[in-house]
Amino acid sequence: MKRATHTLNLFVRRSSSLPIVKSQPTSTRYLSWPIRVSVLLTRFPRISSEVSDLQERFQIYRNEMEIEKSKLADHELALKQKSSAKNIVTARDFEIAQKQKFDIFKPASRTTDEENDPKSLNKKLSQKLVLAIKDETCSEKQYILPSTNLQEGES
C-alpha cells in the first residue's frame, strides 16, 4: 500500500528569529520553532493620583459629617486631664501652632522637568509605566515587550 504524503502550508511573518517555512510534508511531526521569552518591567506610581471632582465633593461631605458628629478632640481631652498649670497649652494655641506649620508647608510639584523625555523614569509620577521597545521586524510602528529566544538549557 502506498502512503500518501500531504503538504501543510504555513504562512509566517518575516522575523529574524523565526524560520520561513513555505511547505513541509505532514509526516514531519514536530517543527523546530524557537521559544520567545519576554519581561514585563514596570514602575509603579510614586505619588497618588489627582483627586477627581466626585472624590473632592465626597471628602467635603465626610469632613462636614465628622464635624457634626464629633465630640472633644484629643488635644482638648489632654488639656482637661492635665492638672499642672505650668505645661498647659490651650486648644486655641495648639490650633494656631498647627496652622502656622501648615502655612509653611509647600507641596512639591506633581509634574517634573523630564515629562517629555522618553527615556526618563521621572515622568507621569502618578501613573504606572511599562517598558516597551520598537519592534524592528515589523514595517509598521509597533511597540512590544523586550524579548529574546530561550536558549537551550535555560528554564
Q: What is the DSSP annotation of the chain?
A: -PPP--EEE------SSS----EEETT------PPEEE---EE--SSPPPPPHHHHHHHHHHHHHHHHH----HHHHHHHH---STT---HHHHHHHHHHHHHH--PPPSS-TTTT-TT-SSS-TTS-EE--EE-TTSSS--EE--EEEPPTT--
The one-digit pLDDT tens for each residue of the chain (155 residues) are: 444 443 333 333 444 444 544 555 554 455 577 888 888 999 898 888 888 999 999 999 998 888 777 776 777 666 666 644 556 667 788 888 899 999 999 888 888 888 888 788 888 888 898 888 888 877 788 888 888 888 877 76
Model pTM above 0.75 = no
User: What pLDDT shows up at residue 13?
Assistant: 40
User: What pLDDT shows up at residue 44?
Assistant: 92
User: What pLDDT shows up at residue 32?
Assistant: 73
User: What pLDDT shows up at residue 88?
Assistant: 64
